[in-house]
Structure 1
């Protein structure tokens, strides 16, 4: 039996927040946007249709939890949810808060600018802030 392994690009780009019942939850290491990533901890899942019916329901619940926490924490003008996977084949879902005054509005954030990485101390604070905001969900 193969165990779950996070794709190297997701590991490099994300800050670990939690393991929910289905997904590993990451905070994108980009201070420009409030951006969460859910990665179902299933081997070889590339598309949502690769999940069982029960796991699809669980994934939708987890997307809703992440979206609600983002909405409560950041109050964005819009929440974008997407499973692109053009660069990273491992199934992962972006939950991204957008603001009318953000650097890329209204265009997609991908390719707009290089990520603004958190300094170590700021990353630790960001992780703690999100863990607190997410604590009512997915435990």
Structure 2
């Protein structure tokens, strides 16, 4: 009997983000770029490159987890608009970006991708933001 591949987070996603929480399907992570509040949802399934590589149930669960995360994240950040996208041109592993955008932020209203150089979080600032995100998304 052949063994199925196990989920492994792509090294680039691991290096460029902080873990927040494992949800039912996805790993929720904070991008290490303090210019924008920026989350990642990464389905914990092996070999998923495209949305349609997931089962119908996983596709539905991903939609549910977008809703679980997006509304409280928007309230927490007070942003004008959430940008949600799945690109995968640099990292082939399927992942979804949830970026809080506000008028006057860096490169508003243009896209965040390819704009300037990343500004990493100070670890204490990232940890405090992660704590706020967890409280907002999964209140006790």
Query: How do 1:81-120 residues align onto structure 2 when only pairs under 5 Å count?
Result: 81-120=84-123
Q: Which runs of 4+ in 1 moved over 3 A?
A: none
In 1, Cα distance between equivalents of 2:129 and 2:73: 13
Measure how far apart 1:32 and its partner are.
1.1
CA RMSD of aligned residues (A): 1.3
Mapped pair 1:131 → 2:112: no
Unaligned 5+ runs, structure 2: none
TM (norm. structure 1) is 0.94
Q: 1:18-37 counterparts in 2 under 5 A?
A: 18-37=21-40
TM-score between the two structures when normalised by the length of structure 2: 0.93
Supply the distance in 1 between the matched residues of 2:132 and 2:33 (Cα, whole angstroms): 15
Matched, 1:75 2:78: yes
Task: Pick the structure with greater CA Rg.
Answer: 2
